[in-house]
Amino acid sequence: MLVPDTMFYMRERVDNGNGNPFEWSYKTSKDLFAGKNVIVFGLPGAFTPTCSNEQLPGYEGLYNEFMEAGIDEVWCTSVNDSFSMFQWAKNLGIENVKMLPDGNGDFAESLGVLVDKSNLGFGKRSWRYSMLVQDMRISKMFEEKGFGDLCPTDPFEVSDAQTMLIEVSKNAEL
């Protein structure tokens, strides 16, 4: 399965001298994933407990091991805008994992992981997952159990960084 063709609305740091060091940048899935071995993990929301305390810091903590195993980049995506994703990474001291805002939920929807979490006051959000993408092809995907709208729980068992590192290490010659 190929990664869906999606447009991402991002903010990138530039030296423009106008007091706002960021400008809008529009990147496609191909811009981000073509010709690379990447890990993408999707989370329900910025600043939420499991996402902030476990999943994002877990990938940040194993970042060097992923690089040693042949991964080019690690991306964290959530149905949040680029401003929220930036502040969330800044708040957690994330320096290596790249933030991939999916403010409209287009990527999550195209991937088939957009769910209704309105029972928790979240609205439409990404289901929790992680995937290994090799030159636009999803070679492995870990999706949490219980997938569906209005799920009363927030499972986190297979999309963690350690599970992905084991998968990536099986084939260190990505």
- Write down the residue that tokens 């423009």 correspond to: 16
Catalytic residue among 10, 40, 43, 51: 51
Query: Which residues partner with 140 through β-bridges?
Result: 132
Own/partner pairs, 158-163, CB within 8 angstroms, 24+ separation: 158/130, 159/41, 159/42, 159/55, 159/128, 159/129, 159/130, 160/54, 160/55, 160/58, 160/130, 161/55, 161/58, 161/59, 161/61, 161/62, 161/130, 162/58, 162/62, 163/130
CA distance 120 to 7: 28
Whether 151 is catalytic: no
Element (H, E) at 139: strand 137-143
- Provide the annotated active-site residues: 51
